[in-house]
Structure 1
Amino acid sequence: MDKGEKTDALKVLNFLCIGAKIEGLNFYGLRLLLSESETNSNRINGQIYINIESQFCLFNSLPKSIPLTNELPNMDLIESLKILCELRLKQIVDVSLHDKSPHLFLTFETGEVLFIWGHDDKYESWQVGVIKTSIDDEDWDIVACPNNGLAIWGPEDIVGNI
């Protein structure tokens, strides 16, 4: 992940996530459903989501260092869903990415931090985007790609010309 990718991804992540609340879960895989916020409600036409396809954990506050994968809990689907359900209606107040790998940090109004592991050699680790209601709606997607890459789609006025 280079500095430009991180910058562009954070522009889209901030627009989609800051001020949003966790309003649901999709039980096919781990997909958090986010509300619109005051900032994006006039522009987003669809459902904002976060797909979690890697290990994650919930910290009481921002950790001082990135945990190693063997330090993250190895949870089954039920355990994972219980943790994510605890985030119900909590508002996201900050979003950040690690400098080298696209590890995702979502900080909530409570101070809690959802950490999503962002590195895999073969698979995507997470995605944040909008499920559009029409083919004519704007594209909004950030994907943590294999080997620390990011793929970013967003309107030019938010991310510039990618």
Structure 2
Amino acid sequence: MKLENQKFAEKVLKYLLIGSQVDGIKFGLDGSTTILYFTNYSRKEDDAFCLNIETAWTVYPASCDKYPLSEAQVPTNTEEQHFKYIWDIRREKVVNVQLDTVSPHLIISLESGKVLFVNGHDANYECWQLGDHFAGGNCEWLLVATPGGNIEAWSPEHFE
């Protein structure tokens, strides 16, 4: 992952997610897809985003010194466990967002100290996408953990 791509993506992630909260969840047909809805109730524009997860993810009770390096290292959870994790972090505000340095593992820190971790590396598939296009309409914001451990970000022209 190129450092300049990582830095820009982290800047976009912080802008979009800090102050927002997990406000909803939708499970895919086969259990391999989870969509989390984030809403920032203190903003009028750029207030709602969807995180489409197509890989392993979990919630840690606190920040870690070392996060998993691959999907195989993420603890395996049932759909019921995933639902419980989201239920337990609902309405908690996001206080920080970062990407791992090697791959775009998504690390979302919440006000309780809990951390939502989403694997960001797969050799063949996109692991996660965050954007406003999942809700319909024109897409202005989109971040994608692309195959091979890279990150791509699209934003409005006015965002620097």
Please indicate, yes or no, whether the TM-score normalized by the shorter chain is above 0.5.
Answer: yes
1:37 offset after TM fit, Å? 4.7
Judge which range, 121-130 or 74-83, deviates more: 74-83
Judge which range, 103-112 or 54-63, deviates more: 54-63
In structure 1, C-alpha distance between the alignment counterparts of 2:115 and 2:77, rounded to whole Å: 18
Q: Which residue of 1 aligns with 2:26?
A: 26
Unpaired runs of at least 5, structure 1: none
Q: What letter is aligned with 2:45?
A: R
Question: Helix, strand or coil: the match of 2:148?
Answer: helix
1:62 aligns with 2:63: yes
State whether residues 58 and 77 of structure 2, in contact with CA within 8 Å, keep that contact through their aligned partners in structure 1: no
In structure 1, C-alpha distance between the alignment counterparts of 2:61 and 2:24, rounded to whole Å: 21
User: In structure 2, do the counterparts of structure 1 residues 37 and 97 end up closer, same or farther at CA, with 3 Å as the change threshold?
Assistant: farther
Q: What letter is aligned with 1:112?
A: K
Over residues 90-116 of structure 1, what are the superposed CA-to-partner deviations in whole Å (9 max), with x where a residue is unaligned? Answer: 110000011110011000000111111
In structure 2, C-alpha distance between the alignment counterparts of 1:100 and 1:27, rounded to whole Å: 28
Runs of 4+ in 1 over 4 A off after TM superposition: none
Residue number among 19, 37, 40 corresponding to 1:36 in the alignment: 40
Matches of residues 62-81 of structure 1 in structure 2 within 5 Å?
A: 62-69=63-70, 70-81=72-83
The count of residues paired between Structure 1 and Structure 2 equals 154
Question: Helix, strand or coil: the match of 2:49?
Answer: strand
Query: With CA pairs under 8 Å and 6+ residues apart, which has the higher RCO, 1 or 2?
Result: 1
1:80 offset after TM fit, Å? 1.9
1:140 aligns with 2:141: yes
Question: Helix, strand or coil: the match of 2:137?
Answer: coil
Identity %: 30
Question: Helix, strand or coil: the match of 2:132?
Answer: strand
In structure 1, C-alpha distance between the alignment counterparts of 2:18 and 2:24, rounded to whole Å: 16
1:124 aligns with 2:126: yes
- If the length of structure 1 is used for normalisation, what is the TM-score? 0.86
User: In structure 2, do the counterparts of structure 1 residues 130 and 35 end up closer, same or farther at CA, with 3 Å as the change threshold?
Assistant: same
